[in-house]
Structure 1
Amino acid sequence: MMTFCGPKRLEVGFNSFSRIGELVKAIGGNKVLVVMDAFLNSPQIGLGKKVSDILSEAGIPMAIYSGIANEPNSDNITEGLDAAKESECDCIVAIGGGSSIDAAKAVAALAAKPDMIFSEIPKQARLGRLPLIAIPTTSGTGSEATRVSVINNSKTGIKENPGHPELVPDIVILDPQLVMTLPPSLTAFTGMDALTHAMEAFVSNKANSMTDLYAYKAMEMIGQALPKVFANGKNEEERQKMAIASYYAGLAFSNASTNLAHAGGRALGAYFHIPHGLSVALLLPFVMEFGLEVAEERYARVAVALGADPKLSQRELARQAIDIVNSYNDAFGIWDEAKNKFITDLEAYRKAIPEMVSNALAGNGILTNPRIPTEEDVTMVFEKLAAKIKS
């Protein structure tokens, strides 16, 4: 049996952002709460004013919650729910990276069911959430296409990521104009996140013909576009290609799941406050090495999608997939970013490994890994990252 969930409507193209008003009306919205990244609402960026002007022209009252400065936590959700109640909104518009979109999903669900606990979302037969429009301003998280919401529990420090088909947004707007000014580092982090989504969905033991279709195409597009937009963020054609590829990768992993790189990446990111895309990029090569012996054919196809010579043997191609990912991490400064900014104390990192391993094993993505890891296996992955950082 195969199940596949995705948004009901997709709008793609430059200036598609300006259609927010008519799209809110299309899903029955009368009062809107906009959930967006704090910096996007700043006077310097002015995206909050822009959406306010568009909705005002459409005759739609709105309020903004922009308390999300980094990755969202449960305190942000409480604040967002207070804003939803105060504004008496009947529709949520999420604008930003995965943080704002994930937070908006949680607010849309919990505003409709105030007594529901966030972690209990998967157990609900129906959520009956508020209508939701997602507008990503990065090309990487894929949250606009997924049925999960990743929120850091402020009390436990653990990232929770419950899933439900009704968390998938109703409408997605992919406007490449919104990502044209994304700096090279964030372009790389989010792009590697999208690549990891697609790759892990492709090798997942829950993969099917539908998820393969989106995952493989996403990898092809990212392999072509990411190096170009990293070098030149003003490349409009490649920016649009990355926006679509990220969406495809989101569809793929939402239905086939991510694996160990994300399970470990969530723990690594939470413990050392590392941006999500960077954390999964750091672990991906070592996770690939761990799964190579059971997923050689799949990783060989990954290499071809990323531009490797298909005439090579299956074993050579599978190894080349790892080499390509390592070359991206080199070219995009992934290793240096981690070493110089986040994992500066290797002794502290090694002391944290047991707790990170425990958190990784407790999260989603372990049982869908092509090779199911043990505690020792996950420890080995974290140790290999330490050795790489030290080198």
Structure 2
Amino acid sequence: MMNFFNPKRLEVGANSFDRLGEFVKSIGGNKVLVIMDAFLASPQMGLNKKVTNILSAAGLDVSIYSGIANEPTFNNIAEGVDAAKKSKCDCIVALGGGSSIDSAKAVATLAVNPNLAFSDIPKEVNLKRLPLIAVPTTSGTGSEATRVSVITNETTGIKENPGHPALIPDIAVLDPQLSLTLPASLTASTGMDALTHAIEAFVSNKANSLSDLYAKEAIKIIGENLIKVFTDGNNLEQRQKMSIASYLAGVAFSNASTNLAHAGGRALGAYFHIPHGLSVALLLPFVMEFGLDVAEDRYAQVALLLGANPHLSQIELALESIKIINDYNQTLEIWNEAQTKYITDLATFRKAIPEMVDNSLSGNGILTNPRIPNKQDITLVFEKLAEKLSD
């Protein structure tokens, strides 16, 4: 038996953002709460003014909540729910990266269910929420397509990530012009996040024929475009291809799940305040190495999709897939960014490994890994990362 979920409607193309008022009306919205982060609402970016003008021109009432942090917390969600109540909104628009979209999912749900605990969302059979439109400004998280919301619990320090089909936005709007101003470093980390989504969905023990279609196409598109868009961020065609790839990868992992790179990446990111895409990219090659024996055929296919020599043997291709990811991390300056900005003291990193391992085991992605890891296995993955960063 197989089920499959994705957004009801997808809008793709340059200037599709300008039609946002039309999209809001199509799902019955009149009073809109836009959820975004402070940077996008800053004078430098001014997206708060642009989205207000677009929605107001369509005759809609608009309120803005721009308090979303890079790693959103329960406090951010409480503030967002309060903003929803004060504005009496009947529709929510998420504008930004995964943090804004994940937050909007939570706010849209908890504003309607004030007595529902965030962690209990998966237990609800008929979960109600406010109508929701997602407009990503990055190409990586895939949150516009997923049934998951990742929010940090400040009390425990753990990133909670409950899933439910009702969390999938009603409409996803992919306008490549919104990602033209994305810095090269964020282009790299979000692109690697999308690639990790697709690879982990493809090797997941919950993968199915439909998720495979989405995952394989995402891997192929990313392999053809990520390095190019990192080098030339103003190429609109390549930006659009990356936004589509991110969406495809989001659909794939929303239905097949991510694995150990994400379980470990959430713990790594929470402990060292590393952006999510960067944290999963750091762990991916070592997670692939761990699962090689049981997913050799799948990793060989990944290598082919990323442009490897088709004349290599299956085991050579599987090993090549790991080399390609390592090379991506080098070319996209992932290793260097981690060493210079986030993990500058390896002694502190190694001391944190036991806690990060425990946090990894408490989240999603362990039981869907092609080879199910134990505490010792995850410890070794983190230790290999430490060794790599010591080079």
Indicate the TM-score class for this superposition, using the shorter chain for normalisation: over 0.9
- How big is the shift at 1:13? 0.2
Query: Contact 1:303/1:320 (CA < 8 Å) preserved in 2?
Result: yes
Query: Contact 2:5/2:165 (CA < 8 Å) preserved in 1?
Result: yes
RMSD of aligned alpha carbons:
0.5
Segments of 4+ in structure 1 off by > 3 A? Answer: none
- How big is the shift at 1:62? 1.0
Distance 1:32 1:238 in 2: 31
Query: Contact 2:142/2:250 (CA < 8 Å) preserved in 1?
Result: yes
Distance 1:69 1:351 in 2: 27
Query: Contact 2:69/2:76 (CA < 8 Å) preserved in 1?
Result: no
Query: Contact 1:199/1:302 (CA < 8 Å) preserved in 2?
Result: yes
Partner amino acid for 1:155? Answer: T
Cα deviation digits, residues 144-177 of structure 1 (max 9, x gap): 0000000000111100000000000000000000
Partner amino acid for 1:269? Answer: G
Residue of structure 1 equivalent to 2:201: 201
Residue of structure 2 equivalent to 1:147: 147
Query: Contact 1:263/1:364 (CA < 8 Å) preserved in 2?
Result: yes
Identity %: 73
Query: Are residue 252 (structure 1) and residue 252 (structure 2) matched?
Result: yes
1:24-43 maps to which residues of 2 (within 5 A)?
A: 24-43=24-43
Distance 1:344 1:40 in 2: 29
Residue of structure 1 equivalent to 2:355: 355
- How big is the shift at 1:69? 2.9
Query: Contact 1:264/1:280 (CA < 8 Å) preserved in 2?
Result: yes
Query: Are residue 83 (structure 1) and residue 89 (structure 2) matched?
Result: no
Partner amino acid for 1:310? Answer: P
Q: What are the ranges of 5 or more consecutive residues in structure 2 without an aligned counterpart?
A: none
Distance 1:200 1:311 in 2: 24
- How big is the shift at 1:127? 1.3
- How big is the shift at 1:52? 0.4
Residue of structure 2 equivalent to 1:23: 23
Partner amino acid for 1:233? Answer: G
Q: Any idea what SS the aligned residue of 1:99 has?
A: helix
Distance 1:115 1:335 in 2: 43
Q: Any idea what SS the aligned residue of 1:45 has?
A: coil
Residue of structure 2 equivalent to 1:238: 238
Q: What are the ranges of 5 or more consecutive residues in structure 1 without an aligned counterpart?
A: none
- How big is the shift at 1:37? 1.4
Query: Contact 1:220/1:306 (CA < 8 Å) preserved in 2?
Result: yes
1:71-220 maps to which residues of 2 (within 5 A)?
A: 71-220=71-220
Distance 2:3 2:320 in 1: 32
Residue of structure 1 equivalent to 2:378: 378
Q: Any idea what SS the aligned residue of 2:141 has?
A: coil
- How big is the shift at 1:44? 1.4
Residue of structure 2 equivalent to 1:4: 4
Residue of structure 2 equivalent to 1:266: 266
Distance 1:336 1:295 in 2: 29
Residue of structure 2 equivalent to 1:296: 296
- How big is the shift at 1:126? 1.4
Partner amino acid for 2:90? Answer: D
Q: Any idea what SS the aligned residue of 1:71 has?
A: coil
Partner amino acid for 2:296? Answer: E
- How big is the shift at 1:181? 1.1
- How big is the shift at 1:294? 0.4
Distance 1:318 1:387 in 2: 22
Distance 1:89 1:51 in 2: 16
Q: Any idea what SS the aligned residue of 1:41 has?
A: coil
1:274-353 maps to which residues of 2 (within 5 A)?
A: 274-353=274-353
Partner amino acid for 1:250? Answer: G
Partner amino acid for 2:37? Answer: D
- How big is the shift at 1:71? 1.2
Q: Any idea what SS the aligned residue of 1:134 has?
A: strand
Partner amino acid for 1:301? Answer: Q
Distance 1:173 1:86 in 2: 26
Partner amino acid for 2:3? Answer: T
Cα deviation digits, residues 63-98 of structure 1 (max 9, x gap): 000001311110000000010000000100000000
- How big is the shift at 1:17? 0.1
Cα deviation digits, residues 284-308 of structure 1 (max 9, x gap): 0000000000000000000000001
Partner amino acid for 1:56? Answer: S
Partner amino acid for 1:194? Answer: A
Q: Any idea what SS the aligned residue of 1:92 has?
A: strand
Distance 2:283 2:201 in 1: 16
- How big is the shift at 1:323? 0.4
Distance 2:179 2:305 in 1: 24
Cα deviation digits, residues 97-139 of structure 1 (max 9, x gap): 0000000000000011111000000000111100000000000
Query: Contact 1:39/1:69 (CA < 8 Å) preserved in 2?
Result: no
Query: Are residue 367 (structure 1) and residue 367 (structure 2) matched?
Result: yes
Distance 1:143 1:137 in 2: 11
- How big is the shift at 1:312? 1.0
Query: Contact 1:176/1:240 (CA < 8 Å) preserved in 2?
Result: yes
TM-score by length of 2: 1.00
Distance 2:310 2:84 in 1: 53
Query: Are residue 60 (structure 1) and residue 60 (structure 2) matched?
Result: yes
Cα deviation digits, residues 44-74 of structure 1 (max 9, x gap): 1111101101111111001000001311110
- How big is the shift at 1:310? 1.5
Distance 2:80 2:186 in 1: 25
